[in-house]
Each structure stands twice: as structure tokens, then as C-alpha cells.
Amino acid sequence: MRYGFVLDQDVCIGCHACTVACKTEHDVPLGVNRTWVKYIEKGAWPDTKRFFSVMRCNHCTDAPCVAICPTQALYKRKDGIVDFDTDRCIGCKSCMQACPYDALYIDPQENTAQKCNYCAHRTDVGLEPACVIVCPEQAIIAGDLDDPTTTIAQMVATEKLAVRAPEQGTGPNVFYKGVDEAALDPARSGSLDDSGVWRDAPETTGSWLSVDLTPKPQGPVGNLGGDIGAPSPPVAPTSARGAPPRVVYNNDHPMPWGRKVSSYFLTKAIAAGIAMAALIAMLTGADVTSAWLSWIAPLVAGLFILLTGVLLVWDLKRPGRFLFVLTKANTSSWLVRGAWILGAQALLMAGWILTGLLGGDVTPWIWISALNGLAVAGYTAFLFGQAEGRDLWQTPLLLWHMIGAAAAAGGGFSLLAAFLLDDLETASDGFALTMLAGAVLFGLMTITELMSSHPTTNAAAAFHHMTRGEFAGGWWRGQFLAVALPILAGALVLAGGTVITGVAGGIAAMAGVFLVDDAFVKAGQSVPLS
């Protein structure tokens, strides 16, 4: 059994009856929607046409939201319905990043994620979903896709239907009949710059009822090149009537992740990088009996791990449930695996501290902590890889980018310690080498990314926003601070310069890593998915 929908846009009149029925059935608050109607307009006045498309959860065969959810709050039923248990949800918002269809939202009253669940409570007693019952044009067809006797199965087998984002490989079970391509692919129509659903219009644009239909000048179709200062992302294709498709009515989807996540990138990078720098310093002849290498370094790294945990819990919408990540764990989620890795590093830091304070040999602890530090630095690349809705984050370079960031930030922070402590003269070269190597790796990943093509329009548009658009200022400043200055400062220290030079490079490295990763996190969420 596999339940699904066919949405017949040939007969849909855009009346929002499905949206209202869904809100009533599930007590959905204003400002968020489980299902909504998107309006697309094409053409130039007076020759214009409006297209409707109903948006909702696609109840995917291979649902990425289920894989990434750390507490198994999202799960797939035997009948194919992707359902949700709000009692397990911690409000981490990772499911919102994994969904390529913008189908999930945070309920402003419950502070848990929510979405269409196919009216499972009705389906279980033999009733159709509320949206199906209320539709005046019978534009919503529901049923078992695996039963050849059902209307929906026969339509899927015989009609020419389309699905949203088939390139994501999720196996969506919501099909569209007679829909315009621009309605399903946000890249063809751009994002909404007007009022959206159930919210006031910005003062600068006015109401969607008075949207300007005058054709706007457009650049070359699909041109992603040009100067760094180019202001606009890739443009939508121009229609035969002389104007690109435009969104005039849609739901609002704010960015789920912000500065707390960007800060977490930096704090765990420093924690991991301190252990890496300690190993390199030890291998280059540093005295492991010094206070820093014997117990202060793991103490400081442990504090940064603690700060990382605080940031992660602080970003949850239900922070009181943070232990669910361990007690109700979904072992396929890299949020859970990341918690294990951070916990293991904290235990290693504790062992390192205890051994050092008791006068034991800390060499094994340094080795093991540095190796696990690679996992601390890099596991987020796999977590972001599970966020399948954000194509920019799928880059295979992200793992090496994060390891380079950790080495640069951790080496730079260790140089600051060498400046403040008198017994680290023999370690400063190792710290400088760690910072320099990390900055070089960080820079190489940036150059490779700049020279690479992007496999999807979504990824190309997000990369444009990061390097040439809204987030370009922070990204380019961050590259200078995280790459150029640490390389120069590290080289000067290794050439016999003073440690204070390395301190300046280390501070620049930490600031640069934050700016670059902040732009990366935000740009990945800047491209509309619905």
C-alpha cells in the first residue's frame, strides 16, 4: 500500500478551500500552512495568465526528513504516509532543511515541526483527507497508488503527470496534472517579493493585488558568470509573451538556521583544532610536560565543546527535550552521530586532563584526541549532506573545508595561548604550522569551489547569493581573514618572527572562519524550494 495524491491543476480554481479545510481539521495557526496554493503569473499586460498549484508534503518513498530526524519524530507508516509524533520532536529544524519541498514548518504554539500527514486519523477509519472532501472541483484525488483498481493508480499509469524536484531522488507521491513548469520549479519564477499568505505586504511593494506587471529588463538566460559585484542571481526564463513567470501569491518560509548554527561551526572547529595543534606541536618537538599540553589545552577544548553543546541546545525550539537525542535516538541521523562524537571528545578531554594533572604521560591522549578531532571537525559535512533540500550544502568539498577551518582556528587559538603562557616557546612553531596548513587547505577548497560547476540550478543560485549577492561581503572578507592573513602570519612565525604575529593571524583565522561559514549557512537557505 502506498497512499498519494494527484492534484489536477486543469480544474483547480485557486479557491484555497483545501488550505482552509486543512487548517480547520488540524487547528493550524495563522502564518503557517500544511497545504497552500501558489499563484504564478506569466505574460505582459494585458496578455497575462495565472496558474495555480497546490503545495504540500509529498510523502516521499525515500523521505529525507525521516533519515535526518534525530529522535524518530518523523516516521514512515506501512501505508506510505510520512507521519509525525510531536511528543518526540525537539524542534531542531533539521527536517525542514532535508525536505526539498518546503513542506515542514515550526508550529508557533507547540514549537514542534508539523506538516501534512494525509489526515492519517481520517484515513485509518476509511475517510478521505479533509482537503479531498472539501474541494469543489474534485481537483484532489487521493488513494492507494499500488492498487490498480483505484482512480489515482489509473491516472498515474495513463495520464501525463509531473512531480516536484524529481532530481532529488526522493520518490514523491504527489503528482500534478496540467501544471505549468514554472509553478513546480521555483528557479523558473524566482522568489516571492510581495505579501505571501496571511501576512501584511511590505511597505515597499504594496499588495499582491496591485503587483506591477510591466516586463522588466532581463540579462542572459542562465548566465551565472560576470563580475563579483553582479547584483542579481540567475534569472528565470522569459516566456513567449515577453516577461518571465513571477510568483504573486505563496507561503512564507523563513530561514530555519541562523547565527547560532554559524557560531557552532566555529566553536567546534576551535575545540577540534586545539587537539590537532597539540599533536603537531608534539611531533615538532614541543615539551608535553608543559602546563598547556598536559592539562590546559584539553580543558580549554572541553569548554569549547561545552559551548558547542550550549549553542545546539539553545537553537532547539524545545530545548527541554535535548536528551531525546540520546534516549530516543535515530542512529541514521548525523545529528545523533555528531552528539556521540562530541561526547566522545569530551570524555577524551577529561582523560587527558586527569592524566596530565596526575603527572602521567599524555602522549596517547593527544594522539587519540587529535584523531577524534578530525571527526569533531568534519561530521557536520555529513549532517549537511543529509539536508537534501539545500543543494549548496551537498558539495563534497565541505568535509575538507571544515577540517581546514578547524586546523586554522585551533592553531590560531593555540598561538594565543603560546603568547600568554611562558612555557610554550617550543610549541609555537607547531601551532603556526597547524594554522598555516589549515588556512592553505581552507583556501584550496575555496578555489576549487569557485572553479567548479554546480550540478543544479538551486546550487548555482545559492552559490551566487554567497559569492556575488546578499552574503558576498561577509564571505569575501572572511576568505581574506581566514586564508591570506593566517598564511602570512604562520609563515612569519616559522621564519623566526614573534609569536604576537601568529596571534594576529590566529584571531583573523577565527573571525574569517565564522564569516565564511555564516555566509555558507545562510546562502544555502536563500533559494526558494516551493
User: Residue 167: which of 405, 465, 388 has the closest Cα?
Assistant: 388
Every domain of the chain and the residues it spans: 3-187, 259-524
Burial class (CB in 10 A: 0-12, 13-18, 19+), 54: buried
Q: What is the pLDDT of residue 28?
A: 93
- pLDDT tens across 388-444, in order? 999 999 999 999 999 999 999 999 999 999 888 866 778 899 999 999 999 999 999
Residue 301: phi, psi to the nearest 5? -60, -40
Q: In 10 A of CB 20, how many CB atoms? A: 16
User: Would you say 384 and 485 are in contact if contact means Cβ atoms under 8 Å apart?
Assistant: no
What's the rounded mean pLDDT across residues 438-461?
A: 94
Q: Which is more confident, 406 or 247?
A: 406
What's the rounded mean pLDDT across residues 454-470?
A: 93
CATH topology of domain 3-187: Alpha-Beta Plaits (3.30.70)
Confidence label for 196 from pLDDT (cuts 50, 70 and 90): low
What percentage of residues in the chain have a pLDDT greater than 90?
78
> Amino acid identity, residue 378?
G
- pLDDT tens across 96-146, in order? 999 999 999 999 999 999 999 999 999 999 999 999 999 999 999 999 999
What's the rounded mean pLDDT across residues 470-484?
A: 96
* Distance (Å, whole) CA 229 – CA 245: 25
Q: What is the pLDDT of residue 420?
A: 87
pLDDT at 312 over 50: yes
Confidence label for 251 from pLDDT (cuts 50, 70 and 90): confident
DSSP type of residue 192: -
* Distance (Å, whole) CA 165 – CA 273: 38
Grid cell in block for residue 510: 577565527
How do beta strands 3-8 and 174-177 pair? parallel
Q: In 10 A of CB 102, how many CB atoms? A: 22
Grid cell in block for residue 455: 550540478
CATH of domain 259-524: 1.20.1630.10
User: Would you say 366 and 293 are in contact if contact means Cβ atoms under 8 Å apart?
Assistant: yes
Q: What b/e sequence results for 238-265 when a residue is b if at least 16 CB atoms lie within 10 Å of its CB, and e otherwise? A: ebeeebbbbbbbbbbbeebbeeebbbbb
